[in-house]
Amino acid sequence: GLPVSQPAQKAALLRLELRARDGGAEVAVTDVDGVCVYKCLVNKDTEYCRVGKESVLITLGYNSALLQFTSHSEYNMFSNTLNSCKNINKEHSVFNQRTEDSSASQYFQFYGCLSQQQNMMQDFVRTATYHRAILQNHTDFKDKVVLDVGCGSGILSFFAVQAGARKVYAVEASSVAKYAEILVQSNNVADKISVLSGKIEEITLPESVDVIVSEPMGYMLFNERMLESYLHSKKWLKSNGMMFPT
């Protein structure tokens, strides 16, 4: 179980336990006396989303519960465990339907290497072209909500903030996501950029977005199959939203 904070008026911590249940997870919260104060079943049809860095909001019908963890690492542990429970006896995601496990593993390991991120950052033509395209179209980003698909180091997210974006959701499935989070914290833009670790086909955003940015073109254009993930991300785009590139 994981400790979860109670409201301010009660200093004691609650205890949260997860149990796998038929394609989902049973979430049970108990107090220090072992009395259950909240219980629900979370599956693929349950509405829930991340709130801030250390909280998750679960909505069941007209009732909602906000679980606030005592640290970011404990939130990550909860999120990873929940995803593992949901993947038991569950349909494959769109990503899994089109990608072999071994291929996906090699892909994310490759892009999790800092040396590969360095190679892309040092591609001046690539980086400068995106920088120019975003800043020259700053009116499309001003006060808008932006989704960065496969953010890597988060460079496009930073460009979007430079252009005036109100909020950026930076999604990255490889281990480089933790370095993107470090860069966000070090540059004091945590209020603007939220790094979400996971595949775009599987993560949940708290809101629809106005703009989607990405660099979906891989080696020999189609090698990484990022184009499919980029197009899949349109499910989060508002009806009058924009995509860079188009």
* 233 in any annotated domain: yes
Q: Are residues 178 and 63 located together in one domain of the fold?
A: no
Q: Are residues 65 and 135 located together in one domain of the fold?
A: no
Q: Are residues 115 and 214 located together in one domain of the fold?
A: yes
* 10 in any annotated domain: no
Give per-residue pLDDT as tens, 25-36.
788 888 887 777
CATH number, domain with residue 67: 2.30.29.30
Count other Cβ atoms within 10 Å, centred on residue 108: 15
Distance between CA atoms of 238 and 207, rounded to whole angstroms? 10
Q: Are residues 147 and 85 located together in one domain of the fold?
A: no
**Residue range 35-62: average pLDDT?**
79
Residue 143, sorted as left (phi over 0), alpha (psi -120 to 50) or beta, turns out to be left
Q: Reply yes or no on whether the pLDDT at 141 is more than 50.
A: yes
Count other Cβ atoms within 10 Å, centred on residue 55: 15
Q: Are residues 140 and 237 located together in one domain of the fold?
A: yes
Q: Are residues 165 and 45 located together in one domain of the fold?
A: no
Q: Which two tokens stand for residue 28?
A: 């049970």
Q: Are residues 135 and 212 located together in one domain of the fold?
A: yes
pLDDT value of residue 168: 97
pLDDT value of residue 94: 52
Residue 84 belongs to domain spanning? 15-89
Number of domains in the chain: 2
Give per-residue pLDDT as tens, 75-131.
888 887 777 766 654 444 555 554 444 444 444 454 545 566 566 667 788 889 989
* 32 in any annotated domain: yes
**Residue range 186-201: average pLDDT?**
92
> Considering the chain, what is the average pLDDT of its residues?
78
Distance between CA atoms of 213 and 204, rounded to whole angstroms? 17
Q: Reply yes or no on whether the pLDDT at 222 is more than 60.
A: no
* 36 in any annotated domain: yes
Give per-residue pLDDT as tens, 150-169.
888 889 999 999 999 999 99
pLDDT-derived band at 228, boundaries 50, 70, 90: confident
Q: What is this structure's pTM?
A: 0.56
**Residue range 176-195: average pLDDT?**
92
* 122 in any annotated domain: yes
* 194 in any annotated domain: yes
Q: Reply yes or no on whether the pLDDT at 49 is more than 50.
A: yes
Count other Cβ atoms within 10 Å, centred on residue 42: 20
Q: Reply yes or no on whether the pLDDT at 203 is more than 60.
A: yes
* 239 in any annotated domain: yes
Distance between CA atoms of 141 and 160, rounded to whole angstroms? 7
* 149 in any annotated domain: yes
Residue 69, classified by CB atoms within 10 Å of its CB into exposed (0-12), middle (13-18) or buried (19+), is buried
Distance between CA atoms of 130 and 133, rounded to whole angstroms? 5
